[in-house]
Structure 1
Amino acid sequence: MSRLLLAPMEGLLDDVLRDVLTRVGGYDLAVSEFIRVSGTLLPQRSFVRVCPELARSGRTRAGTPLVVQLLGSDPNCLADNAGQLSRLAPAGIDLNFGCPAAKVNRHGGGATLLADPEQLFRIASSVRRAVPAGMPFSAKMRLGVRDTSRTLECARALADGGVDSLVVHARTRAEGYRPPAHWEWVARICEVVAQPVAANGDVWTIADYRRCRAVSGCRDVMLGRGAVADPFLARNIRRVMAGEDDDGEVDRSADWQELLPLLASYWQQVCAKVAPQHAPGRLKLWLAALRPNFAGAAALFLAIRPLRTVDEVNQRLWQHGVLAAAGDGRPPDAG
Structure 2
Amino acid sequence: MSELQRPVVRPRRLRSSAAMRELVAETTLRPAQLVLPMFVREGADEPVPIGSMPGVVQHSRDSLRRAAVEATEAGLRGVMLFGVPESKDPEGFGATDPDGILNVAIADVAAEVGDALVVMGDLCLDEFTDHGHCGVLDADGRVDNDATLARYAEMARAQAAAGAAMVGPSGMMDGQVAVIRAALDEAGHTDTGILAYSAKYASAFYGPFREAVDSSLSGDRRTYQQDGRNARESIREVLLDIEEGADVVMVKPALAYLDVLRRVADTAGELGVPTAAYNISGEYSMLEAAAANGWIDREPAILETLTSIRRAGADIILTYWAVEAARLLR
TM range (shorter): 0.5 to 0.7
| Higher RCO (Cα < 8 Å, 6 or more apart) | 2
Over 3 Å counting, the alpha-carbon distance change for 1:51 and 1:64 in structure 2 is: farther
2:67 to 20, 28, 40: 20
Deviations along 1:35-63, whole A, 9 cap, x unmatched?
79936583211155x64341353555995
Quote the Cα distance in structure 2 between the aligned partners of 1:188 and 1:34: 32
Over 3 Å counting, the alpha-carbon distance change for 1:77 and 1:183 in structure 2 is: same
Over 3 Å counting, the alpha-carbon distance change for 1:84 and 1:52 in structure 2 is: closer
Quote the Cα distance in structure 1 between the aligned partners of 2:157 and 2:114: 25
Paired letter, 2:265: C
1:82 to 140, 150, 156: 156
* Structure 2: runs of 5+ lacking an equivalent: 1-29, 41-49, 51-56, 126-134, 136-147, 202-225, 285-300
Say if 1:170 and 1:185, in contact at 8 Å, map to a contact too. Answer: no
Say if 1:19 and 1:61, in contact at 8 Å, map to a contact too. Answer: no
Partner SS state of residue 75, structure 2? coil
Quote the Cα distance in structure 1 between the aligned partners of 2:303 and 2:92: 43
Which residue is equivalent to 1:210?
307
Over 3 Å counting, the alpha-carbon distance change for 1:47 and 1:82 in structure 2 is: farther
* RMSD of equivalent CA atoms: 3.3
Higher strand share: 2
Shift of 1:23: 0.8
Partner SS state of residue 66, structure 1? strand
Shift of 1:158: 2.0
1:126 partnered with 2:173: no
Over 3 Å counting, the alpha-carbon distance change for 1:206 and 1:7 in structure 2 is: same
Number of equivalent positions: 203
Quote the Cα distance in structure 2 between the aligned partners of 1:64 and 1:81: 21
Over 3 Å counting, the alpha-carbon distance change for 1:7 and 1:181 in structure 2 is: farther
Question: For residues 110-125 of structure 1, what are the structure 2 equivalents within 5 Å?
Answer: 113=172, 119-120=173-174, 122-125=175-178
Which residue is equivalent to 2:98?
44
2:264 to 164, 182, 189: 189
Structure 1 segments (4+ residues) deviating >6 Å: none
Using the size of structure 1 for normalisation, the TM-score is 0.51
Quote the Cα distance in structure 1 between the aligned partners of 2:193 and 2:113: 18
Which residue is equivalent to 2:192?
135
Quote the Cα distance in structure 1 between the aligned partners of 2:249 and 2:235: 12
Percent sequence identity is 13
Deviations along 1:64-104, whole A, 9 cap, x unmatched?
3321111043111211221232222222211124xxxxxxx
Quote the Cα distance in structure 2 between the aligned partners of 1:142 and 1:34: 20
Over 3 Å counting, the alpha-carbon distance change for 1:63 and 1:236 in structure 2 is: same
Say if 2:170 and 2:200, in contact at 8 Å, map to a contact too. Answer: no
Say if 1:22 and 1:62, in contact at 8 Å, map to a contact too. Answer: no
Shift of 1:18: 7.0
Partner SS state of residue 32, structure 1? strand
Which residue is equivalent to 1:221?
317
Which residue is equivalent to 1:156?
239
Question: For residues 229-240 of structure 1, what are the structure 2 equivalents within 5 Å?
Answer: 231-237=323-329, 239=330
Question: For residues 1-335 of structure 1, what are the structure 2 equivalents within 5 Å?
Answer: 3-8=33-38, 12=57, 14=59, 16=63, 19-20=66-67, 23=70, 25-33=74-82, 38=91, 40=93, 42-47=96-101, 51-55=104-108, 57-60=110-113, 64-72=117-125, 73=135, 74-97=148-171, 113=172, 119-120=173-174, 122-131=175-184, 132-140=189-197, 141-143=199-201, 144-149=226-231, 150-170=233-253, 180-193=255-268, 194=271, 195-201=273-279, 202=283, 205-214=302-311, 216-224=312-320, 226-227=321-322, 231-237=323-329, 239=330
* Structure 1: runs of 5+ lacking an equivalent: 98-112, 114-118, 172-179, 240-335
